[in-house]
Amino acid sequence: MPEVNLDGPVLFCFDGSDGSRGAMRAAAGLIERPTDAVVLTVWETIATQLAHAGAFAAGTVGGADLDAEEETFAKSVAADGVLHANEHGYNATPITVQAFDGIARTILETADDLSARLIVCGQRGRGVLRTALLGSVSHALASHTRRPVLIAPEIPLADPEHAHS
């Protein structure tokens, strides 16, 4: 088990979803800032996504172009996450990593590479179907991590009309 480095960065798992944004907000109330943080967005090739869905990817038309779009999208999501993290008082930098052996494993390997002191993620990612197909990343992180993990439930933002109720 790696020793937790309390000087390491906070690792935010960020896919642009409400769940990942909510986890960032939740962590802001628990972690003294300013502190270094890394906003990690993991992406997969179209063939990998199809394989997870049980489809065959042989001869995918435009696969390389679609993969480049996936990577570009991941970079824009990570950059957006850095903006949100910095608004919450973190000194954040973006990282995008292609997953070859699953999203959770990629997150855990990245956390080890960075000597992250804490992994922060939301309970839900981008969509119910994606969660059902890929399994629960947060559950896999909690089950296999050797580092502290903050898993924040998805809490909708308060409705302004009912905020004082």
| Total domain count, the chain | 1
* Res. 4 pLDDT band, cuts 50 70 90: low
Beta carbons of 136 and 151 less than 8 angstroms apart? no
pLDDT value, residue 139:
85
pTM for the model stands at 0.81
Q: For residue 110, tell me if it sits in a domain.
A: yes
Could you tell me which residue, 92 or 128, shows the higher pLDDT? 92
pLDDT value, residue 65:
84
- Mean pLDDT, residues 80-89 taken together: 96
pLDDT value, residue 125:
54
Q: For residue 20, tell me if it sits in a domain.
A: yes
pLDDT value, residue 45:
85
CATH code: domain of residue 74: 3.40.50.620
Q: For residue 121, tell me if it sits in a domain.
A: yes
- How do residues 94-120 score in pLDDT, each as one tens digit? 999 999 988 999 999 999 999 999 999
Round the average pLDDT of the chain to a whole number and report it: 82
- How do residues 146-161 score in pLDDT, each as one tens digit? 899 999 887 665 544 4
The range of the structural domain enclosing residue 76 comes to: 10-155
> Which residues lie below 8 Å from residue 80, measured CB to CB, with a gap of 6+?
16
Q: For residue 149, tell me if it sits in a domain.
A: yes
* Res. 86 pLDDT band, cuts 50 70 90: very high
Q: What angle do CA 43, 22, 98 make, to 5 degrees?
A: 10
pLDDT value, residue 47:
78
pLDDT value, residue 156:
61
